[in-house]
Chain A
Amino acid sequence: MLELSAAEISALQLSLQVGVWSVLGSLLPALAVAWLLARRNFPGKLLLDGLVHLPLVVPPVVVGYLLLVLLGRNGPLGRLLDAWFGLTVAFTWQGAAIAAAVMGFPLIVRAMRLSLEAVDTRLEAAARTLGAPRWEVFATVTLPLMAPGVLTGAILGFARALGEFGATITFVSNIPGETRTLPLALYTFTQTPDGEVAALRLAVISVVLALLALGASELLARRLQRRLSA
């Protein structure tokens, strides 16, 4: 009863894989966008801000559809990816990771931006008078001070990736072993006669996974906070 079936393990593994890669891939671009939004003024800032937040407000299915149009085999970006790297993302787990990344991106940017705005720029000025050039100040003062925000953003993004459904199923479909993550597997069981027990098991797994992620982030956040305040 407690043993996981092959299908469950496959969905769990796939979900973790998609979640980790979507977050890892988002961190640097999100940091760059958060920095631009928090520290710079430039024409088109409002547009960038809106664009980044779009996945929060439009239906996920729309995002998935737009990804399909752009990155599908015949989409303009999809063709480039194919020609340059021989990479196909439509209907693959990489595509699922991209869908999850796009959906989680605004959450990550938001958390980072808030923590970046809370960093005292006077500390950065002090670091520069001590001989540190801009990028070194960022690496040694700014980034460590916004670490709790980066962590929060990563956890939020990861949780969002685990729950991603609409954009994923639209963009990369529901292929067992390739794109069938936990929510998709759960959905599949609800569409199958006598699938209630299996669906419930997946629901429990999802809840446990989410709780573990939350607990880990809480522990990390406390350690970071201790370092900053003690």
Chain B
Amino acid sequence: MLELHVTKRLGAVHVAAELACPSQGVVALFGRSGAGKTSLVNMLAGLLRPDSGRIALRDAVLFDSASGIDLPPERRRIGYVFQEGRLFPHMRVRENLLYGWRRAPADERRIRLAEVVDLLGLETLLERRPGALSGGEKQRVALGRALLANPRLLLMDEPLASLDQARKQEVLPFVERLRDDLDLPIVYVSHAMEEIVRLADTLVLVSDGRVVASGSVEEMTSRLDLRPLTGRYEAGTVIAATVAGHDPRDDLSDLAFAGGLLTVPRLDLPVGTHLRLRIRARDVALSLERPRGLSIQNVFPATVVDIGEEEGAQLDVRLDVEGAALWARITGRAKRQLALAPGTRIYALVKSAALDRHALGRQPAGGRFLAPGSKLNGA
């Protein structure tokens, strides 16, 4: 368990956050810049002292203003990957990597240099100096350095934010490997929903220094009341699915989810692989009757659950597809013409092209956190 309830005055922002979540898997802190996400992780790391409150990780109390406990950062054993890397410029990559490892208690050194070098692909960088590394390489080294300190919790503060799209795609798979191969809880700060959907199990929404809501990524992205915070343009739901089969002739794959089979462009993944899909509201259309003669392949019977406020000319409709939540973005006129209301039976049309690899993320399988070296279930 990770418990945190803290208050802190920081200029105009008054942080007053309460959070209790499983210290397992990836917990994402999501919010606009200036919402107080970084302040929260700095308080976890011991770099920022709360005015009052309590922070505990598993059975260790890190901070408690009532009993005067305030462990210094070096004794918290919490790894931190910063947005800007923060590698030591006067040390080679190897020395950077070993900085925390040398200072970790000998009996807690589970992760070794060779493993991290292997996991993050750092062989060729070891003798270089940070000044000679690219942005993506720097972040990989920073990641390795934090891991080698053998922390009990890993904080990642927008580790990809300073990278361009190509570098992001270079580093993201390494973060995924770390999530899947190591039994290390991660708190991941981001304002990019894509990254969160791909990486996180638990989503914590932060706004104005407060924790507004927290829960599983699937649940949180389907809640209408949180839409102003999760972002309108990015609006969409996350659903869990499994690779059900491939059609090599048409280069398509079938994915099974609660609402049926979804056809997408061929995925290079074995049958049985768990996936997480993000379906954007603007990629879902509605029809009162089962359409015929339509290019859209994915049609699901659904029930209207909820209808959002009209913003501009558009509004979002929340659908239930056999237990899976879907959003559709339609115009206000379409809503009136179709006479939509909660309970209306309807057909949801999902463009298969909307499900690109970008939106893929592995589903949190029970067997995700394995001892290093063992294989993933079904992968």
Contact = CB atoms under 8 A, between A and B. Distances in A.
Interface of A: 120, 122-123, 125-133, 136, 140-141, 144-145, 227-230
Nearest to B102: A131
Contact of A131 (B88, B90, B104, B129): B104
B80 A126 contact: yes
A77 to B, nearest CB: 39
A131 B84 contact: no
Q: What are the 5 closest A-B residue pairs judged by CB atoms, nearest first?
A: A131-B103, A130-B100, A126-B86, A128-B73, A129-B80
Contacts of A229: 89, 129, 131
A130 B81 CA distance: 10
Given A125-B47, A228-B131, A229-B131, A130 B90 contact: no
19 contacts: A127-B99, A128-B72, A129-B45, A129-B47, A129-B73, A129-B76, A129-B100, A130-B79, A131-B104, A133-B74, A136-B103, A140-B99, A141-B88, A227-B90, A227-B129, A228-B90, A229-B89, A229-B131, A230-B129
Contacts of A227: 90, 129
Contact of A122 (B45, B82, B129): B82
A145 B73 contact: no
B141 to A, nearest CB: 12
A74 B76 CA distance: 56
B142 to A, nearest CB: 8
A140 B74 CA distance: 14
B106 interface: no
Interface in B115-144: 129, 131-132
B5 interface: no
A191 to B, nearest CB: 51
Contacts of A132: 74, 99, 103
Given A120-B86, A227-B129, 16 more contacts: A122-B82, A125-B73, A126-B86, A129-B73, A130-B74, A130-B79, A130-B146, A131-B100, A131-B104, A132-B99, A133-B72, A144-B90, A145-B89, A145-B90, A229-B129, A229-B131
B77 interface: yes
Contacts of A133: 72, 74
Interface string B49-87: 000000000000000000000001110111110101010
Nearest to B76: A129
Given A123-B88, A126-B80, A141-B88, A230 B149 contact: no
A131 B132 CA distance: 26
A1 B82 CA distance: 65
Interface residues of B, number: 27
Contacts of A123: 86, 88-89
Q: Indicate the member of B73, B77, B100, B132 with the most A CB atoms within 10 Å.
A: B73
A122 B157 CA distance: 13
Given A128-B47, A141-B88, A230 B132 contact: yes
B145 interface: yes
A227 B131 CA distance: 10
A131 B77 contact: yes
Q: Indicate the member of A125, A131, A144, A227 with the most B CB atoms within 10 Å.
A: A131
A230 B131 contact: yes
Contacts of B88: 123, 126-127, 141
Interface string B145-161: 11001000000000000
Contacts of B45: 129
Contacts of B129: 227, 229-230
B55 to A, nearest CB: 15
Contacts of B89: 123, 145, 228-229
A181 B82 CA distance: 54
A127 B72 CA distance: 12
A55 B370 CA distance: 66
Nearest to A130: B100
A120 to B, nearest CB: 8
A185 to B, nearest CB: 42
Contacts of A129: 45-47, 73-74, 76, 78-80, 100, 146, 149
Nearest to A137: B74
A130 B99 contact: yes
A132 B206 CA distance: 31
A144 B104 CA distance: 22
A118 to B, nearest CB: 12
A192 B72 CA distance: 67
Contacts of B80: 126, 129
Nearest to A128: B73
Contact of A130 (B46, B84, B131, B145): B145
Interface string B213-233: 000000000000000000000
A123 to B, nearest CB: 6
Contacts of B77: 131
A227 B46 CA distance: 31
A128 B84 contact: no
A132 B46 CA distance: 13
Nearest to B78: A129
Contact of A128 (B74, B104, B132): B74
A63 B33 CA distance: 55
A131 B101 CA distance: 9
